[in-house]
Amino acid sequence: MVVRIDLTDTEELKLTYQRLIEKRDLIQKSRPLPALALHKIKESLNLEWTYNSNSIEGNSLTLRETKVILEDGMTIHGKTLREHFEAHNHAKAIDFLYTLVKKNHKLKAGDILSLHKIVLNSIEDHFAGQLRNSGVRISGANFVPPNALKLPDLLDQLINYVQQNPDGLNTIELATVFHHQFVHIHPFLDGNGRTVRLAMNLLLISEGFPPAIILKNDRKKYYDALNQANNGRYNKLLLLMCQALERTLNIYINALPGSADDYLPIANLLEEAQMPYGKEYISLLARQGKIDAYKEGKNWLTSKVAIDNYMLNRKRVRN
């Protein structure tokens, strides 16, 4: 491994893991979901995944423009050819990823190289699917990636770590550590971010979770969390991963027949439910991962049940 790993889970993180696993199991028990609803959810999430992952790396296409390119086969005036290829390639990479998904699938170096080759197809063909052969520096990062000569061994070590899981990490922790260690190795000259967010989700989806989609609006928080992980502090990256998973899990749960939880923007919820809490307080709980909440754009959504459960658990701890 490249850097030391400190996974000192807070009590809130442990409760969050438990909640996310319970949600995953609920979805699994409810299968088969209505075919039309399942298709629409997967189609929508794949579009968001492509849009947000590309946007984090600087692609200027909007969500609607990405949808038009992928679904209508149109080109967008004023957007570069590269940006169009990035949209098409990422969508194709997701399709390829799902062909790999099966129970107990073991991530292989070949999977990563194949995903990278698709991501950079017709963009950087001369090093698509190839490990970098020179040094790189990452703007804004607090580390310098290792020498290119070390990459084959480092990537093999990372794959072996994921396959063997010697520290007994749960699926969410393992995917998070893999994500950071991959970024730290930085095995490619270009396309590392898109590729790692695909490979990370291969680990999650293979274990029954939906994809964790890091949102464009969380770009700064995401990079700050990666920089903290470079110093062995993983809590912020774990929290961000959990919040991304919570969002997609809730999207599936809301589609289940008889789903009772109504997730609303915090301001709307407090007004509708006439709850005796301030917006800033509940927003802070959401940002800290202390309540069941997820983000849509810049707004946090939660439910009355989530707030009530947190307050009840807080009273139990005090007593």
Active site residues per annotation: 186
d(CA 188, CA 279): 43
Three-class secondary structure of residue 233 per DSSP: strand
Tokens read off for 190: 């270009």
Longest dimension (CA), the chain: 64
Cis upstream peptide for 32 (omega within 30°): yes
**Cβ neighbours for 131, distance < 8 A, ≥ 6 positions apart:** 148, 151, 152, 155, 187, 188
Tokens read off for 234: 């993983």
Phi, psi dihedrals of residue 6, rounded to the nearest 5°? -120, 105
Backbone CA torsion sign across 151, 176, 236, 263: positive
Three-class secondary structure of residue 98 per DSSP: helix
Length reported for the chain:
319
Closest residue by Cα to residue 245 from 288, 306, 292: 292
Backbone CA torsion sign across 285, 247, 185, 154: positive
Three-class secondary structure of residue 293 per DSSP: strand
Alpha-carbon dihedral of residues 72, 92, 178, 216, nearest 10 degrees?
-20
